[in-house]
Amino acid sequence: MEIYRLPARSTNYIFLLHDPQQKVAAVVDPADAEPVLNCLEKLGARLVAIFNTHHHNDHVGANLHLLQQFPEVVVYGGAEDRGRIPGQQVFLREGDRVSFAGRSGDVLFVPGHTRGHIAYYFPPIHADEMGELFCGDTLFAGGCGRLFEGTPTQMVNSLSKLRELPDDTHVWCAHEYTLNNLEFALTVDRSNLALQERLTEVKATRQRSEATIPSTIAIEKQTNPFLRWDIPARANRCKNK
């Protein structure tokens, strides 16, 4: 399974999954149709699935346009988002599975940013592969999504669930927020040397206009304060601020 990161709008990333043998593709959180259609044309691939993580327009904005172009497309989303995702046909819950390009993906219910947010985790099937996590706006590189509909308790539970995934899992989050997130992270975790080094690297990456996504679960566990909330030294520092 090949993964293409497609920039959209000001900070969004759309992820196109490609099966070169079958010449088919799936897309995760298509904000806009044009980047997806351009990539499909270059690959000579046919779109067969849309995997939505939640109902916000910058994640589902292209659903209907893509359905018009590819009427056979199946649109997936969370069961709690019934009626809120355009064109949705499959209503997923925790423990359900999806499949693409010979890989099976686990559906994780991760509310907090919205009440119906889900994520898709594709475990590796070969020794030379990494797991692939498509987490929408729940977990960001260096941060997490804002609480629009969910509760802090839900978000903590959701982030704790993602933190349990294997360290070498790729984190494909849907926005390029990493630099701002890490600058904030340093204000609450100043003594974290791994965080200091990562911020320096990300500054250089962004100066070159390069993407910082994907991250990995291992990197996030070392440097993301929202995956380190229960580390005693950091928790005490936050409490005293």
> Is 137 designated active site?
yes
> Is 230 designated active site?
no
Residue 108 burial class via C-beta count within 10 angstroms: exposed 0-12, middle 13-18, buried 19 and up: buried
79 in helix, strand or coil? helix
Cα–Cα distance for residue pair 79/146, rounded to 1 Å: 21
Residue in 18, 19, 32, 54 annotated catalytic? 54
> Is 126 designated active site?
no
Q: What is the pTM of this model?
A: 0.93
Cα–Cα distance for residue pair 31/21, rounded to 1 Å: 26
List pLDDT tens digits, range 146-164.
Answer: 999 999 999 999 999 999 9
Check if CATH label 3.30.9.10 holds for domain 2-240. no
> Is 56 designated active site?
yes
Domain definitions of the chain by residue range: 2-240
Q: Are 72 and 80 a contacting pair, CB within 8 Å?
A: no
> Is 55 designated active site?
no
Cα–Cα distance for residue pair 166/106, rounded to 1 Å: 14
Average pLDDT, the chain: 94
- pLDDT tier for residue 127 given thresholds of 50, 70 and 90: confident
- pLDDT tier for residue 232 given thresholds of 50, 70 and 90: low
> Is 189 designated active site?
no
